[in-house]
Amino acid sequence: MTGSFGRDLSEPVSCVPYARARSGILLQGDAWQWWGAAPAYSYSRGSSPRVGSVMVIGRTSRMRDGHVSVVTRIISDREIRVDHANWASGSAKGRIARDQRVVDVSPRNDWSLVRVYYPPINDLGTSNYPVLGFVYASPGTLASR
């Protein structure tokens, strides 16, 4: 399953406001900053995906702001599905993508490095992305329900 790629938005949306609205995790700043900010706002964090958690991808040379996405399903120890926004490029930039495949490609099987489904090629992308970790929803947030 490759997931669905939203095409019904009238205006582009970036990953941060989408992840905040979708997860109920109310953090601010660039995507990569969510990892460091989480404890100050009483959000737990860790290295394992959980449904409703936000995966925080660190900065790279091509993604200066990092990226955040919301974990929607655990498929296996090394595969999850996420909902996120603004992952694709070109005419799909700023769109919401749902049920997107993410695979742990880290040598230690610790979710520190992933590959993400890339809609233009209808497969996992060829780039590896550094994962800072997962921010967990607190009781009472949308994602914890």
Domains of the chain: 4-144 (3.90.1720.10)
Whether the CA torsion 127, 131, 136, 141 is positive or negative: it is negative
Alpha carbon distance, N-terminus to C-terminus of the chain: 25
Both structure tokens of 89: 């490029």
Q: Is the pLDDT score of 140 beyond 80?
A: no
Q: How far is CA 84 from CA 5, 38, 41, 67, 109, in A?
A: 10, 19, 22, 9, 23
Rounded to the nearest 5°, which phi and psi values hold at 56?
-110, 115
Mean pLDDT confidence for 137-144: 59
- Answer whether residue 126 shows pLDDT above 80: yes
pLDDT more than 90, % of the chain = 76
- Res 19 pLDDT > 50: yes
User: Across residues 32-55, what is the average pLDDT?
Assistant: 96
114 has a pLDDT exceeding 50: yes
Q: Can you tell me the distance from the alpha carbon of 13 to that of 96, in angstroms, rounded to the nearest whole number?
A: 7
Collect all residues with Cβ–Cβ distance below 8 Å to 27 and sequence separation of at least 6. Answer: 20, 33, 34, 37, 38, 41, 43, 135
pLDDT digits (tens, 9 = 90+) for 88-112: 777 778 899 999 999 999 999 999 9
Q: Give the Cα separation of 121 and 128 in Å (integer).
A: 16
Angle at 30 between CA 56 and CA 57, to 5 degrees: 20
Contact by Cβ (8 Å): 143, 70: yes
How far apart, in whole angstroms, are the C-alpha atoms of residue 112 and residue 35? 13
